[in-house]
């Protein structure tokens, strides 16, 4: 830490006691303000206690008697001495409580009033609402801060300036003009048909109408909206702000169901109504998981701006590396101490588990905010984001439209992942990308990309849930995993073969996806990954890559699959192409495993295993 911006020393005399007073700002190692922390330091063997404010500023008062050597120096010399002393002795006081984390709270007002930790994203919001776009949309995965952003916008447009003290938007000089605001959230209600959608919208509008003292007997949501909006315009004399959160949840919840089409038509009517009110609208902001082009809901909707892949807003949701180390530095220290690991080791593990999301071609990698908050809440590395909501709609789609996940190094994709016109044409690859389960890892050309899982949490959780979802009895899944683990630890390939074959036999007959080589290879791949303690992801060598490499506490395994009709020996291919060189140097033994399977997924020949001699 270091001190900057020391003000001129003020000396106050009271009954032969002298108070030397100054203020300064304290920065951390990344030159970010040290906010809301209790510190201690020494100046000429005098211990002083400090507490920083939201901007890292603190007041320093040093009491001296009339014999103090400091009183014989100039004010400039005293300031220099203060600066040198503070910079050499500043420490964070032990035992002070950390800021509470906003677990499960997406209300900006609650977070600010209760002094919960808030990662300041208001600079991005300022740029958006003062820019040229009147209608803005952004898609992000679930639990990525969309609702908090909508809540923040609501507070801004309702003129609640005090909540933004010290934040970027206040520093940018925003005027906090008050506007009437209508906010709709489609994430918190179960919508199964047109009638329930109308009821949800109407109930939300009626609830907000009470705040503005508006009464109406209208029972049609669209007619109510039209009447309510015109009432607000007349009452306030200002145009309206409309905020819509998770617009696509009613459609994703009903993916593949007959009622989805009527829900889509009702939503289209609703957004068409918003379009018709353009003259009395000041600003519209919409969030969702999937992009706007997945349907014609917004066709011609006043040229709505899709900011989802706009590099200017790629860091607006989630946490960057700099934000992680700026806002969570004390939590990292606590976690490091508890796990008895260095700060660097902890940061590496956090990155492996929760980083890896990208939202533009040139944007930084982003951490999952929900998982980061949960990590520092309980100080355990777990799959928090995935566990918070199993993607049933996606797992159901994979039962019909399979995607080959068996090859390490990613999945090729084109521009279809950004743009599809009909939900019935939705591919698993596209939905996995838009929902945040796959991200762009490499851009090959303007129309060709490599997709992969963003991090360990998403990869292991997705495989785990996929394997459960295709069984006729998901309760058997832990037994299969335990047997695969046992076979690897004991190098028991007969057990591994029997476990694979037993799993294949228990795949539900309701699975309609094409069961070809890639399908069964993906299943074997997922079983091995979910049974390993340390799945590896970077495995390329100059001569290609193995099907995958996994690690347990005891050994590394380099695995190659072949169809039974292929006469080539899989282990020999590993040796010839030296796939094992992708494994980082270690004292662990390396086993080479070769597996051949029939078209129906059965393994007939013995699974080969051979320890690499180094």
Task: Give me the CATH number covering residue 181.
Answer: 3.40.50
User: Do residues 577 and 594 lie in contact, with contact meaning Cβ atoms separated by under 8 Å?
Assistant: no
Domain range for 194: 108-313
Helix (H) or strand (E) holding 548: strand 548-551
Residue 213 counted as domain residue: yes
Domain end: 313, 332, 353, which one? 313
- H helices of 306-388, in order, are 321-327, 329-339, 343-354, 369-378, 384-387
Residue 386 counted as domain residue: no
User: Do residues 186 and 288 lie in contact, with contact meaning Cβ atoms separated by under 8 Å?
Assistant: no
Of 66, 79, 61, 56, nearest to 19 by C-alpha is: 61
Q: How many angstroms from the chain centroid is the CA of residue 242?
A: 25
Mean pLDDT is highest, among 4-8, 150-154, 298-302, 556-560, for: 150-154
Residues 474 and 583 in one domain: yes
Q: What is the pLDDT of residues 551-600, one digit of tens each?
A: 888 888 888 888 888 888 989 998 998 888 888 777 888 999 999 989 88
Query: Given a cut of 80, is residue 29 above it in pLDDT?
Result: no
Mean pLDDT (whole number) for 523-547: 67
Q: What is the pLDDT of residues 47-67, one digit of tens each?
A: 888 888 878 899 999 999 888
Residue 103 counted as domain residue: no
Integer Cα distance of 577 and 556 in angstroms: 17
Residues 18 and 131 in one domain: no
Domain end: 313, 341, 367, which one? 313
DSSP state of 542: T
Residue 6 counted as domain residue: yes
Query: Given a cut of 90, is residue 509 above it in pLDDT?
Result: no
- In this prediction, residue 66 carries a pLDDT of 85
Query: Given a cut of 50, is residue 124 above it in pLDDT?
Result: yes
Mean pLDDT (whole number) for 237-256: 91
Mean pLDDT (whole number) for 206-228: 94
- Which range, of 27-41, 445-459, 460-474, averages the lowest pLDDT? 27-41
Residues 516 and 601 in one domain: yes
Residues 166 and 255 in one domain: yes
Coil, strand, or helix at residue 524? helix
Of the chain, the percentage scoring pLDDT greater than 70 comes to 93
Mean pLDDT (whole number) for 454-481: 91
φ/ψ of 326, rounded to 5, equals: -80, -50
Q: How many domains, the chain?
A: 4
- In this prediction, residue 143 carries a pLDDT of 93
DSSP state of 119: -
Task: Kindly give, in sequence order, each residue whose CB lies less than 8 Å from that of residue 477, ignoring residues fewer than 6 positions away.
Answer: 467, 468, 471
Residues 409 and 536 in one domain: yes
User: Do residues 148 and 108 lie in contact, with contact meaning Cβ atoms separated by under 8 Å?
Assistant: yes
Q: What is the pLDDT of residues 347-368, one digit of tens each?
A: 999 999 999 999 988 778 999 9
More confident residue, 42 or 29: 42
Integer Cα distance of 239 and 65 in angstroms: 64
Query: Given a cut of 90, is residue 613 above it in pLDDT?
Result: no
Q: What is the pLDDT of residues 184-212, one digit of tens each?
A: 999 888 899 999 999 999 999 999 999 99
Residues 173 and 295 in one domain: yes
Residues 522 and 572 in one domain: yes
Residues 293 and 331 in one domain: no
Mean pLDDT is highest, among 192-196, 428-432, 510-514, for: 192-196
Mean pLDDT is highest, among 87-96, 515-524, 564-573, for: 564-573
Mean pLDDT of the chain: 88
Residue 12 counted as domain residue: yes
- In this prediction, residue 567 carries a pLDDT of 85
Residue 101 counted as domain residue: no
Residues 465 and 504 in one domain: yes
- In this prediction, residue 538 carries a pLDDT of 44
Give Cα separations from 312 to 118, 121, 316, 353, 385 (angstroms): 21, 12, 8, 26, 25
- In this prediction, residue 294 carries a pLDDT of 47
- In this prediction, residue 346 carries a pLDDT of 96
- In this prediction, residue 536 carries a pLDDT of 55
Residues 115 and 263 in one domain: yes
What is the per-residue burial (b if ≥16 Cβ within 10 Å, else e) of 113-126? eeeebbbbbbebbb
Q: What is the pLDDT of residues 258-312, one digit of tens each?
A: 888 899 889 989 998 998 999 999 999 999 988 765 456 666 555 788 999 899 9
Query: Given a cut of 60, is residue 36 above it in pLDDT?
Result: yes
Residue 102 counted as domain residue: no
Query: Given a cut of 90, is residue 456 above it in pLDDT?
Result: no
Domain end: 359, 381, 403, which one? 381
Task: Kindly give, in sequence order, each residue whose CB lies less than 8 Å from that of residue 140, ignoring residues fewer than 6 positions away.
Answer: 146, 287, 289, 308, 317, 318, 359, 436
Query: Given a cut of 70, is residue 448 above it in pLDDT?
Result: yes
Query: Given a cut of 50, is residue 385 above it in pLDDT?
Result: yes
Residue 136 counted as domain residue: yes
Residues 213 and 248 in one domain: yes
Residues 444 and 545 in one domain: yes
SS (H, E, C) 209-269: HHHCCCCCCCCCHHHHHHHHHHHHHHHHCCCEEEEEECCCHHHHHCCCCCCHHHHHHHHHH
- In this prediction, residue 537 carries a pLDDT of 44
User: Do residues 45 and 85 lie in contact, with contact meaning Cβ atoms separated by under 8 Å?
Assistant: no
């Amino acid at each position: 830490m270091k001190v900057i911006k020391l003000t001129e020393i003020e000396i106050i005399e009271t009954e032969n006691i002298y108070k030397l007073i100054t203020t300064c700002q304290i920065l951390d190692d990344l030159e970010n303000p040290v906010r809301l922390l209790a510190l201690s330091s020494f100046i000429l063997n005098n211990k002083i206690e400090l507490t920083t404010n939201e901007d890292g500023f603190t007041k320093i008062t040093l009491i001296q008697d009339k014999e103090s050597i400091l009183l014989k120096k100039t004010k400039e010399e005293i300031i220099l001495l203060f600066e040198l002393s503070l910079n050499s002795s500043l420490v964070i006081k032990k035992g002070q409580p950390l800021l509470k984390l906003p677990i499960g709270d997406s209300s900006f007002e609650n977070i600010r009033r209760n002094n919960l930790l808030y990662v300041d994203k208001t600079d991005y919001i300022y740029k958006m609402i003062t820019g040229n776009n009147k209608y803005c949309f952004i898609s992000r995965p679930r639990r990525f801060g969309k609702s908090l952003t909508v809540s923040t916008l609501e507070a801004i447009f309702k003129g609640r300036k005090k909540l933004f003290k010290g934040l970027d938007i206040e520093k940018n000089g925003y005027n906090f003009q008050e506007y009437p605001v209508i906010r709709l959230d489609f994430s918190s209600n179960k919508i199964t048909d047109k009638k329930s959608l109308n009821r949800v919208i109407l109930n939300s509008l009626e609830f907000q109408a009470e705040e503005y003292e508006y009464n109406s007997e209208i029972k049609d949501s669209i007619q109510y909206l039209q009447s309510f909006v015109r009432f607000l315009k007349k009452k306030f004399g200002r145009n309206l702000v409309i905020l819509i959160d998770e617009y696509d949840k009613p459609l994703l919840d009903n993916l593949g169901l007959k009622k989805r089409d009527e829900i889509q038509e009702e939503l289209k009517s609703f957004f068409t109504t918003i379009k018709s009110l353009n003259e009395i609208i000041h600003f519209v902001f919409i969030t969702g998981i999937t992009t706007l082009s997945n349907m014609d809901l917004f066709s011609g909707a006043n040229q709505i701006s899709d900011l989802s892949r706009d590099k200017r807003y790629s860091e607006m949701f989630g946490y960057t590396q700099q934000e992680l180390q700026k806002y969570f530095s004390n939590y990292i220290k606590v976690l490091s101490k508890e796990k008895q690991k260095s700060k660097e080791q902890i940061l590496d593990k956090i990155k492996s588990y929760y980083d890896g999301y990208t939202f533009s071609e040139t944007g930084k990698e982003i951490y999952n905010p929900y998982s980061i908050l949960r990590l520092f809440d309980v100080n355990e590395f777990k799959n928090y984001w995935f566990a918070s909501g199993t993607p049933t709609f996606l797992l159901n789609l994979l039962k019909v439209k399979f995607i080959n996940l068996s090859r390490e190094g990613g999945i090729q994709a084109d521009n279809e992942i950004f743009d599809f016109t009909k939900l019935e044409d939705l591919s698993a690859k596209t939905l996995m990308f838009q929902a945040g389960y796959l991200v762009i890892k490499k851009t090959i050309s303007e129309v060709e990309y490599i997709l992969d899982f963003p991090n360990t949490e998403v990869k292991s959780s997705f495989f785990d849930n996929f394997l459960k979802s295709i069984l006729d009895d998901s309760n058997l899944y832990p037994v299969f995993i335990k047997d695969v683990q046992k076979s690897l630890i004991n190098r028991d390939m007969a057990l591994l073969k029997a476990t694979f074959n037993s799993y294949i036999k228990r795949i539900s007959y309701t699975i309609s996806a094409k069961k070809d080589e890639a399908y069964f290879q993906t299943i074997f791949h997922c079983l091995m990954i979910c049974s390993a303690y340390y799945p590896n992801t970077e495995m390329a060598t100059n001569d290609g890559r193995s099907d995958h490499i996994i690690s347990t506490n005891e050994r590394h395994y380099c695995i190659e699959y072949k169809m039974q009709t292929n006469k080539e020996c899989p282990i020999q291919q590993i040796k010839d192409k030296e796939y094992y060189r992708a494994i980082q140097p270690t004292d662990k033994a390396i086993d080479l495993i070769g597996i051949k399977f029939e078209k129906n997924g059965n393994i007939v020949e013995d699974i080969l295993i051979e320890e690499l001699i180094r």
